[in-house]
Structure 1
Amino acid sequence: MKCKDLQQVVFRKYEDGDGPTKIFRDLSGSLGLATIKRWCKMIRDTGSIQLSKPPGGPRFARTSKTIQKVKHKLNQKKMASVRSLAKDYSISKSSSHRILKEDMKLYPYKMRIEPKLTEEHKNKRKKFVNWVGHNFRKEDTMRILFSDEKIFDLDGMYNSQNQRIWAVSRDEADEKGGIKVKQKFPQKVMVWLGVCSKGVTPLVIFDSGTVDHAEYIQKVLPVALKYGNKTFGKHWTFQQDGAKRHIHHLTQTWCQDNFPSFIDKDHWPPNSPDLNPLDYCIWDEFAQCVNWKKVTSKATLIDELKCAVEKIRQDVVLQSCSSWTARLSRVLKNGGGYLKK
């Protein structure tokens, strides 16, 4: 029964001499007793039921017209917040949120950062995939030693979106560790690591935080060579990306003279961290193995990095290397584009 109809029923019954309790019983719970008493008082005082307009926006904000306006807005503008939509269409934030999630079946996604790939880059990526297909069997790809460098700092790693503190107030959350203190210029440590289907190499640490081709040749390449020969014997391949210290002519010459095989600067495609197991898997695993609570200085950071490399799970390493050829196939299907996952 509509509200207007209920008002007429209450008005008629009250005029006939029925009290609020009897009206409530006759309506079988269609209206609350308190509401009926309030309406009866209105009839007694004014001779009619006069309901004031409810405060705030209209009761039914999620109309088809408003939903169409929101759709049009999103088609014109790639990003729009719940707050801005609510302000633009004079609706509450909760109504705006329900329109997006319940009516339009949309989900909020955080903006991701990925390397910019030109058509030339995409063509080189496709060319690399074809080159691997013609020169490597599946078992050969399992004998590739991938390598990379990464910088860690004293602030550690955390995810502001996923790491939540449940508390009754902001102050309590802060007391439970809800504040992440970041330094303006935190001390940093650069490390090098190699990974293959059999495991990971010893960790090489650069105390200065940077490394040039000379230090790379002196400290890194002998470690890679020793590990590769010990693990695979005479048949394996070394990989490195297009960093300047890697493509330096002296580095390339050293690799050519010492490694059984290596992917030279003319074959590894530019802007392709999504093709290196370290970038798309192992570095995250490594960071999760670090006990960041113990990191209070550069020395403790180095100690924790050394401990963490021993905790990297072998099944994660094997899976990341085993999936490499499948990722290459996806590059071709994606027209040379960047792999999202």
Structure 2
Amino acid sequence: MPHLYTTEEYANMHLIYGECRYNATAAARLYRERYPNRERYPDHRVFINVHRLLSEGRFPNQVTSEGRPNTSNEDMVLQEVSSTSVRLIEARTGVSKSTAHRILKRNEFHPYHVQRVQSLLPQDYPARLAFCQTMLQKYREDESTLKRDRYMNLHNLHEWHLENPHLMREDRSQYRFKINMWTGILNGKIIGPFELPENLTGEVYLDFIENHLPNLLEDVSLDIYRSIWFQQDGCPAHYTCSVREFLDLEYRGRWIGRSGPISWPARSPDLNPVDFFYWGTLKEKVYSKPLQSLNELREKIAAAVEEINSKSYARLVNRSFLRRCRACISAEGKQFEHLL
């Protein structure tokens, strides 16, 4: 095993590391000069690891007289198991990645996914609780939500544990598209999307909900239209007096947002179907291949929306929303997606 050294070699490393006043790069260079005939040479990380392990009262892994690795090799890997990767374990202990991986599997450790979730502030919890409780109470009414696009950008992260610890890591929502778009979900069907100007002001947004949104809803029956719940977030353009006055007239008692009849809790994309369902589904279809231009992006979005609308997601979306509300209540308003 190329990453294992004898006791004598480790002793020489530690002496040279001290001689170089704990300059690992200089120690690695001096080691090569002093022992020119050795078969392998440690890099600067090994000198740092050897000193750290000895300072902690542990001895570095070594080769026995029979040529087999010392059992401390396994002990060191298990002590570093909270590291996020076998590569980091290798850097800290000198044990090769393949050996560390075998040790972890032999001890029945598994790499559990670390899920990124929206960052929350303590004052957000009561608002999220109140919102979820209200929505569960009103569920039997015919209600729908509409909101502009935003989604959580997820990456694969893992940690090794014997059992799933339901790990999470806070992150912020990010705008994915380089065009400003509005979209909505009504009874499992996508409404829109509608491209908005890049600079969204209260005046521009009011023009949209007054003059363009009715065209997007022209195929909706009058009975359904009268029972629609309109949802928006805390964007400054959504909070202007003119917008709130219009919503009070057009959706009297049936809109959700900042200072609305039902207050929308800040930083809660995990409670919005457009966030947790629509954009996740859409991006898989839109970004299946690299995009070359905005026009191509628009075409891919239109095709993806048509494909999504060809399937019935109403029951799935409603069920997921209710499950999330109940999970949020159980978590006392805190993050819950890692437990779903």
Letter in 2 for 1:98: R
Change (3 A) 1:94 1:263: same
**8 A Cα contact 1:252 1:264, kept in partner:** no
Structure 2 residue 86 is the aligned partner of structure 1 residue 82: yes
SS of the aligned residue for 2:129 comes to helix
Structure 1 match to 2:225: 233
Structure 2 match to 1:43: none
**8 A Cα contact 2:128 2:328, kept in partner:** yes
Structure 2 match to 1:189: 179
Structure 2 residue 77 is the aligned partner of structure 1 residue 70: yes
Which of 330, 333, 338 is the equivalent residue of 2:335? Answer: 338
Q: Distance in 2 between matches of 1:223 and 1:68?
A: 66
Change (3 A) 1:231 1:319: farther
**8 A Cα contact 1:115 1:271, kept in partner:** yes
Which of 203, 208, 230 is the equivalent residue of 1:214? Answer: 203
1:117 CA drift (Å): 1.3
SS of the aligned residue for 1:287 comes to helix
1:115 CA drift (Å): 2.1
Which one is further off, 253-262 or 218-227?
218-227
Change (3 A) 1:220 1:336: same
**8 A Cα contact 2:144 2:230, kept in partner:** yes
Q: Distance in 1 between matches of 2:237 and 2:184?
A: 16
| Root mean square deviation, CA, Å | 3.4
Structure 2 residue 141 is the aligned partner of structure 1 residue 144: no
Matches within 5 A, 1:1-341: 58=63, 60-61=68-69, 63=71, 65-74=72-81, 79-107=83-111, 109=113, 111-134=114-137, 136=138, 138-140=139-141, 142-150=142-150, 188-206=178-196, 208-220=197-209, 222-225=211-214, 227=217, 230=222, 232-260=224-252, 261-266=254-259, 267-290=263-286, 293=289, 295-313=291-309, 314-340=311-337, 341=340
Structure 1 match to 2:172: none
1:257 CA drift (Å): 1.2
User: Any gaps of 5 or more consecutive residues in structure 1?
Assistant: 1-53, 152-156, 162-185
Which one is further off, 99-108 or 120-129?
99-108
Q: Distance in 1 between matches of 2:102 and 2:136?
A: 49
**8 A Cα contact 2:136 2:325, kept in partner:** no
SS of the aligned residue for 2:258 comes to coil
Letter in 1 for 2:327: R
**8 A Cα contact 1:273 1:279, kept in partner:** yes
Q: Distance in 2 between matches of 1:120 and 1:316?
A: 33
Give the TM-score normalised by structure 1: 0.63
Seq. identity, %:
19
Q: Distance in 1 between matches of 2:315 and 2:78?
A: 45
The structure with the largest alpha-carbon Rg is 1
The structure richer in strand per residue is: 2
Give the TM-score normalised by structure 2: 0.63
1:204 CA drift (Å): 0.5
User: Any gaps of 5 or more consecutive residues in structure 2?
Assistant: 1-38, 42-61, 158-175
**8 A Cα contact 1:126 1:335, kept in partner:** yes
**8 A Cα contact 1:275 1:327, kept in partner:** yes
Q: Distance in 2 between matches of 1:200 and 1:191?
A: 13
Q: Distance in 1 between matches of 2:249 and 2:70?
A: 70
SS of the aligned residue for 1:194 comes to strand
**8 A Cα contact 2:286 2:300, kept in partner:** yes
Q: Distance in 2 between matches of 1:60 and 1:247?
A: 69
1:113 CA drift (Å): 3.1
**8 A Cα contact 2:188 2:313, kept in partner:** no
Q: Distance in 1 between matches of 2:291 and 2:92?
A: 47
